[in-house]
Structure 1
Amino acid sequence: MVVSSRRNVIMGPKKKVTRKRKPEEDNKGSEVEEEIEGEEPKEKERKGKDKKRGKNKYIGAHVSISGGIWKAVGDCLAIGGRSFALFLGSQRSWQRPPLNTAAAEKFQKACVENGFNPVHILPHGSYLMNCGSPKQDVFEKSQALLVDELGRCSALGLSLFNLHPGASLGSITTEQCQEKIAQAINQAHQQTPAIVTVLENMCGQGSTVGGQFGELRGIIDRVRDQSRVGVCLDTCHAFAAGYDLSVKGGVKSVLDEFDQVVGLSYLRALHLNDSKGKLGCHLDRHEDIGHGQIGIPAFRDIVNEPRLDNIPMILETPGRPGFEDKEQIELLYSLCKH
């Protein structure tokens, strides 16, 4: 998975015009929006409403914790995000130093001061974890790391934790892998209070579990406290797994199927990624919004879908010069009709 974080004034004798540029929906240019001092009351009222577009959508990106975990909040604000994802420690080691208490307090303070609700912050699990591993040593280390991750969430005042479910490595059945994943989650829930474990759908590559909605449901069914389990729907992964978001009505159709198989009550977050690969390719290749196979119309439908209100929508796109996280967030909000 690839993640990144990265007016003219015209004076006249009677009025001042301020021009603010923002990306167009077709990604090929930008449109100009004018605000004119002394304009008619109805025009002011209309533009006031325009500024509130997407008020129920919490779009953001995966941000860095470099220099201190509390700095993630400022990084999110700098790109215009209303939600964010972050790692809670090193991705290169099973063993991590304990979370610094002062750093955790600074993080919580920054969130409160800047109006971030814990339900709009989505920590991402270490890629080292494979809670479905048939290898006992890897399974035990993954269990321990999951407990550590949930403990860090508690210390930071967070309520959600996102992870890739796991992989069978081809030596156990999908059902056995689901059982092991649920076992790890159940153990972690016993040792840490309140945090909701959010399973990310996968692209169906190799022996990974969670590419099909039914596989996610199979894990959920094995979790004892189902009030503490949810799903993060990654658009690239879903498309690569064969769920066609790109066709007209595709977003509605996929959500309807998710609701029938898993239940929309379990949907806690989205990862907003276009796909380099074609439908059903089973390749985890993220692309910038509108530059991949899914396309702008699907993302317009996503940001205008009422069933996706009030959950974090996190970009994990590679970014390119002039179209990094900030510009992509602006684009997505510009697609909102309300």
Structure 2
Amino acid sequence: MAPKRRATRRTKTEESAEEEGETLEKQPRRSHASGGSKYIGAHVSIKDGIWKAVDSCVAMDGRCFALFLGSQRSWTRPALDPAAADKFREQCSRHRFDSAHILPHGSYLMNCGSPKEDVLEKSRVLLVEELSRCSRLGLSLYNFHPGSSLGSISTEQCVQRIATSINNAHQKTPAVVTVLENMSGQGSTVGGNFPELKSIIDKVRDQSRMGVCLDTCHAFANGYDLSAEGGVKAMLNEFDQEVGLQYLKAVHLNDSKGKLGCNLDRHEDIGKGHIGISAFRDIMNEPRLDHIPLILETPGRPGFEYAEQIELLYSLCDKKKM
């Protein structure tokens, strides 16, 4: 789950650029953003224009980013401005962001497994619209929460509704890969454990357009002990066995305010929660997580915002692997 608060304050990069009489666009990408196998970034704001997401990522020295494609408060949105879409694509090209390293996040309003027919229909319409926006923006991935039974239908029925929603969207839109996010198990959400994710994928006709984003906080809250020695490797081994590593398209990097197995979706800053810094060191040195977007959704605190947490994560890498 992406955090409600986004980092909109000016970064040190922006401030120094102003002091030197330069614009942010002229700032060079810093050293660790130019190479290495790990692609770290954060969920950034689209306030004042969707292309601003690219600027924000560059300012915090990210190599990948996530973003919403529109308002989280409404089912209906204005049509995507062609000029804004073109500017977004131009900025991505200018700063060398490949579509495989950009992860749009689905609206929290959507519940593609809802037992409520009106919500289900609106969710299916919005899913098609969001995939169409991805295509117009030149994006190849779309991450969303699978859905919830709301406690009034079985998990199996909810899974079937989610798969039907995806099949419908695939039929109406081209190419974009739909990426399911694992959930914390809070309430009646579906997709908290790996077998549930696989059961959705198994019911999708075009599985070449399916992927998974693993959220570290959600996994920990659902009982996958990343804090234990070897915990990251154990989780990935289990994911490979239950789902298949070919489906792993991204990771959300979040520590957890809650304890192991709490089922609470409560993100914490890196190294400040119950998962702990050792697990993130293991993540940064895990070759199975190379070349995919590793996205921060942490709350941030003064002096430890996204830019500082990105720097910390890169410092955990074995320098021989950079």
TM over 0.5: yes
* Matched letter for residue 64 of structure 1: S
Q: CA distance change for structure 1 residues 98 and 212 in 2, over 3 Å: closer, same or farther?
A: same
- Paired residues for 1:186-335 under 5 Å: 186-335=167-316
Q: 1:268-301: per-residue Cα shift (whole Å, max 9, x none)?
A: 0000000000000000000000000000000000
Q: Secondary structure of 1:61's match?
A: strand
Distance 1:138 1:51, change over 3 A: closer
Aligned to 2:141: 160
Partner of 1:46: none
Residue pairs, 1:87-126, within 5 angstroms? 87-126=68-107
State the SS of the aligned residue for 2:307. Answer: helix
Cα distance in 2 between the residues matched to 1:289 and 1:104 = 33
Amino acid at match of 2:285: N
- Quote the offset at 1:52 in angstroms: 8.1
Q: Which residue of 2 aligns with 1:77?
A: 58
Other-structure match for 1:20: none
Equivalent residues of 1:54, 1:303 under 8 A apart: no
One-letter amino acid of the counterpart of residue 195, structure 2? G
Consecutive unaligned residues of structure 1, counting only runs of 5 or more, are 7-49
SS at match of 1:260: helix
Change (3 A) 1:51 1:254: same
Q: How far apart are residue 54 of structure 1 and its match? A: 7.0
8 Å Cα contact 1:119-1:160 kept in structure 2: yes
Q: CA deviation at 1:227?
A: 0.3
Q: CA RMSD in A?
A: 1.2
**C-alpha distance 297-136 of structure 1, shift in aligned 2 (>3 A):** same
Query: Based on CA coordinates, which of the two structures has the bigger radius of gyration?
Result: 1
- Is the 8 Å Cα contact of residues 43 and 66 (structure 2) preserved in structure 1? yes
**Structure 1 residues 3-152: aligned runs within 5 Å:** 3=4, 4-5=6-7, 55-152=36-133
Looking at secondary structure, tell me which structure has more helix per residue. 2
The alpha carbon displacement at 1:205 in A equals: 0.7
Structure 2 CA distance for partners of 1:53 and 1:103, relative to 1, 3 Å: closer
Would you say the 8 A contact 2:33–2:63 is kept in 1?
no
Deviation digits for residues 47-102 of structure 1, max 9, x if unmatched? xxx95897111100000000000011010000010000000000000000110000
How far is 1:259 from its partner?
0.3
The answer (yes or no) to whether the contact 2:255–2:276 under 8 Å persists in 1 is yes
The CA distance in 1 between the partners of 2:85 and 2:192, in whole Å, is 34
Instruction: State the distance in 2 between where 1:81 and 1:52 align.
Output: 7
Amino acid at match of 1:162: N
CA distance in 1: counterparts of 2:35 and 2:105, whole angstroms: 25
Q: Which amino acid aligns with 1:285?
A: R
Q: Distance between the aligned counterparts of 2:140 and 2:153, measured in 1?
A: 32
Residues 53 and 336, structure 1, Cα contact 8 Å, conserved in 2: no
Instruction: Return the letter of the residue paired with 2:77.
Output: R
Q: Is the 8 A contact 1:274 1:294 kept in 2?
A: yes
Task: Give the AA of the match of 1:156.
Answer: L
Q: Which structure is richer in relative contact order (CA contacts within 8 A, separation 6 or more)?
A: 1
The 1-side partners of 2:162 and 2:135 are apart by 21
Q: Which deviations, in whole Å up to 9, do the C-alpha atoms of 1:109-146 show, x marking residues without a partner? A: 00001000000000000000000000000000000000
Q: Normalising to structure 2: TM-score of the pair? A: 0.90
Aligned mates of 1:83, 1:249 — CA distance in 2: 26
Q: Please list every run of at least 4 consecutive aligned residues from structure 1 whose deviation after the TM superposition is greater than 6 angstroms.
A: none
Offset, 1:5: 2.3
Q: Tell me which amino acid in the other structure corresponds to 1:155.
A: R
Q: Alignment partner of 1:181: what SS?
A: helix
